[in-house]
Structure 1
Amino acid sequence: MERNMNRGTEIIMQGAEVKGTLSTPEVLPIYLTTAFRGGADLDELNEYYAVKGYTYNRIRNPNRNALAELVSYLEGGEASMICSSGMGAITTTLLSLADAGDHILANSNLYGETLEILDVIKRYGIESTCVDFTDIEAVRKAVQANTKIVYTEVISNPTMAVVDVEAVARIAHDCGAKLVVDNTFTTSTVIKPIEFGADVTINSLTKFMNGHSDIVGGSATASKEVIDKACKLQALLGCTLDPFSSYLCERSLRTLDLRMERQLKNAEALAKALSEHPHVLKVNHPSLPAHPQHDIAKRLFAKGYGAMLSFEMPEDREKINAFMRRLHIAKYAMTLGGYATTLSYPILSSHASVPRDIRLKMGITDGLMRVSVGLEDAQDLIADFTQALSVFEE
């Protein structure tokens, strides 16, 4: 229909379609659209829906799919589900793998909100048991006849205990369960859990994967069969990642190994310096020979020991306050894995909801501080922490 229309109609019609020949762009465009147009009539629609293309943003989006492809390569899996948060990825994965009457065996030393979601899904008849996964015999004994999922992090938050993923995978598969491993603290730069027997790897894309502290997202990587089932539930739960955040994360992942190389080296240097400081009671980082799972980390990790560490100071609240105020480089933030070094106080953040007696059994004392090591110069970081710790001499 070729005729001039009224202003209200033209505002809708003008500039709505690309005109001219398009070559392939160097960078994938951002598809900020709610839906994708189908055929001109019912016959064309039948042809359109016969191919798994794009219809509605919550179901599929080119930016999200591109990110999933890249994450799948990095983690060494067949397919990936990209979610609007790490917790979205964890919850969707658990609910897609377990049914009422099933049992989840989980590491007792997990991110606080992961422990909370295990309590929440008990309402739906999915029971869970938590044990210390650094004790392989305890893991073996805790398996039940109805255990369908074994769940752990590679490095525990915030005590940096390392789990022998390979040994846990054997236990899980012997009882017919799937091993789900949270790889957030390590990333595929350090370890690919799937290569050691994990069935699913989880990442909070918010953290090191994106690395720029400007998105919230999550992923699960596994076989195509597992991910297809999870994605159907994800669409119903509505926890898919938006196109712009997907684009930002895909862009950031191009430099993952470069960023991690610097952060891994910085973390080792800072951990060593802190371990030699007279007012630091304990340092938790797998690079240190005194770390209880140092040998396991050496065997499993391809590069470095992770860019997260924690250290224990005397339990003097005023001195800890003074230490935090005196730091120039590292600032407090309830996140991790960005380009800047940040602090977190676990009893007020990740484990605020964990009862004190349980927290202390996990090794989370009132003097424990977690550090996410960034891209700054290592010597500057060491100097900053050293001068701030001098408050304990005053």
Structure 2
Amino acid sequence: MNNKKGFTTTILHSDRLLQPEFGALHQPIHTAVTWGYEDVNGLVDVFQNKTRGYAYSRQGNPTVAALEQKVTQMEEGLSTVAFSTGMAAITSSILSLLKKDDHIIASSYLFGNSRSIMQTFIEIGIQISFVDGTDIENIKKAYKPDTRMVFVETIANPGTQVADLEEIGNYCSEHKLIYVVDNTMTSPYIFKPINVKASLIINSLTKYIGGHGNALGGSITDTGLYDWENFPNIAPVLRSQIPPALLGISQIRKRGLRDGGGTLSPEAAHSISVGSETLALRLERTCSNALILAHFLKEHTLVKKVNYPGLASHPQHKIASDLFRGYGGLMSFELSDKIDCLTFLNRLKVVIKSSNLGDTRSLAIPVAKTIFHELGAEQRKEMGIDDSLIRLSVGIEDIEDLLEDFTQALY
């Protein structure tokens, strides 16, 4: 008999199966900063990784641990570490595992803040080559003997380019490279990077997993597919204490979370955990709304271009169709020269002018003038970001209301 439950059933009952106090259906919010032990040997064993337990909340908390288990179940991985933000997770995935002169191959379409932190890594001595990840040949050309990691996003923000995820996974597996996939724009409901041999999976829990724009969070999930025992950058002290399969995620927890200090609060963890229970329901509605809106905008005379993987005209439509359960809620579009993008945005009444993504509400923002402003005109041009480009994160509103809002704003 197959005891594996469906996606939503698993999430709904995850906390309860941990048997929280008094039969609570959710893990309670534990606000303790530290834990006391009657026998000091218990505290020593926790510090020396001989037993599981809690000593100080910067590196572990029961409420956060329950969320970490839930994300691990969503991604069908081995283990997860949660952080205060998605950017803290991205930063920790690199600083915890790489050293000066190590080489990363990264997508040239990375989100602005991700691209910015990569530039910081370059300045402290990590080599990074930015390539178009939609074609595996570009990854192959960038490979060097000191390449340690390939870092891509599933769907790029805001251009919606889809990386050649499966071919990159095969290449990384063959060359023993750490394959990091940022799954934020798809979420584990739409896509599971473990199926394309990802080593580590990043999620901004703030976005679709939390889903309600009320809590910041991020996570790194180890899929269990990478051979950490033969990775040269693992700290010797960990090799003597940690099982080989857990070496990578343990080093991330120690160096990235404990030393870096990007701790997720128990209150935020609880909000994200509860929000995650409706992930599948929300994304079904979001994907449906987004596909209808994409077709509507594509046919409108005041819209020059629409970027959405669900459109047959999208360059990576086939990859998205083969790998994803749906096409997500992220799209971007360029307006005709006849209409100013700021004027258009101010005409919208239902869609909110905001910088977030993955909310229950539809959110729009002028890309060149906000989130990609710091990159400058030349770099924006290289990334294909037009001055009129608008990013839209589609929510779960009634589709008739969204269509009416865009109709009245486009004139």
2:89/2:220 contact within 8 Å kept: yes
| The one of 220, 228, 253 aligned to 1:231 | 253
> CA shift at 1:124, angstroms?
3.0
Give me the whole-angstrom Cα distance separating, in 2, the residues matched to 1:178 and 1:44: 35
Give me the whole-angstrom Cα distance separating, in 2, the residues matched to 1:177 and 1:214: 36
- What residue number does 1:341 align with? 362
- What residue number does 2:219 align with? 219
> CA shift at 1:138, angstroms?
1.6
> Residue type of the partner of 2:384?
G
Please, what TM-score do these two structures have when normalized by structure 2? 0.86
> CA shift at 1:315, angstroms?
4.3
Give me the whole-angstrom Cα distance separating, in 1, the residues matched to 2:266 and 2:288: 33
- What residue number does 2:24 align with? 25
Task: Give secondary structure in 1 for the equivalent of 2:33.
Answer: coil
Q: Does 1:203 align with 2:226?
A: no
Task: Give secondary structure in 1 for the equivalent of 2:368.
Answer: helix
Give me the whole-angstrom Cα distance separating, in 1, the residues matched to 2:397 and 2:23: 37
- Of residues 137-146 and 365-374 in structure 1, the stretch that sits farther from structure 2 once superposed is 137-146
1:143/1:175 contact within 8 Å kept: no
> CA shift at 1:122, angstroms?
2.1
Give me the whole-angstrom Cα distance separating, in 2, the residues matched to 1:355 and 1:236: 33
Compared CA separation, residues 31 and 101, structure 1 to 2 (3 A): same
Give me the whole-angstrom Cα distance separating, in 1, the residues matched to 2:388 and 2:352: 17
Compared CA separation, residues 127 and 261, structure 1 to 2 (3 A): same
Deviations 1:311-364 (A, max 9, x none): 110246x73222112111001111111110000221133312212122112111
Task: Give secondary structure in 2 for the equivalent of 1:23.
Answer: helix
1:315/1:366 contact within 8 Å kept: no
| The one of 301, 309, 314 aligned to 1:291 | 314
- What residue number does 1:158 align with? 158
Deviations 1:108-147 (A, max 9, x none): 0111111111111123321101011112212211111111
Task: Give secondary structure in 2 for the equivalent of 1:281.
Answer: strand
Task: Give secondary structure in 1 for the equivalent of 2:373.
Answer: coil
- Of residues 147-156 and 319-328 in structure 1, the stretch that sits farther from structure 2 once superposed is 319-328
Deviations 1:212-253 (A, max 9, x none): 101111011113332111000111110110100001101111
Give me the whole-angstrom Cα distance separating, in 2, the residues matched to 1:358 and 1:45: 51
1:64/1:242 contact within 8 Å kept: yes
- What residue number does 2:125 align with? 125
Please, what TM-score do these two structures have when normalized by structure 1? 0.89
| The one of 368, 372, 378 aligned to 2:389 | 368
> Residue type of the partner of 1:232?
K
2:107/2:130 contact within 8 Å kept: yes
Q: Does 1:70 align with 2:70?
A: yes
Residues 101-116 of structure 1: matches in 2 within 5 Å? 101-116=101-116
| The one of 355, 358, 362 aligned to 2:376 | 355
The higher radius of gyration belongs to 1
| The one of 291, 310, 321 aligned to 2:332 | 310
> CA shift at 1:44, angstroms?
6.4
- Of residues 46-55 and 199-208 in structure 1, the stretch that sits farther from structure 2 once superposed is 46-55
- What residue number does 1:251 align with? 274
Deviations 1:258-317 (A, max 9, x none): 11111111111111111111111011111111111111111111x21011111110246x
> CA shift at 1:45, angstroms?
5.1
2:207/2:358 contact within 8 Å kept: yes
> Residue type of the partner of 2:402?
L
- What residue number does 1:378 align with? 399
Give me the whole-angstrom Cα distance separating, in 2, the residues matched to 1:42 and 1:142: 52
> CA shift at 1:175, angstroms?
2.5
1:147/1:175 contact within 8 Å kept: no
Q: Does 1:172 align with 2:172?
A: yes
Cα RMSD, aligned residues only:
1.6
> Residue type of the partner of 1:352?
H
Task: Give secondary structure in 1 for the equivalent of 2:386.
Answer: coil
Deviations 1:156-189 (A, max 9, x none): 1101011121111122233321110111111011
Structure 1, unpaired ranges of 5+: 1-21
Aligned residues: 366
Give me the whole-angstrom Cα distance separating, in 2, the residues matched to 1:220 and 1:60: 14
Task: Give secondary structure in 2 for the equivalent of 1:155.
Answer: coil
Deviations 1:42-62 (A, max 9, x none): 466557765321121112100
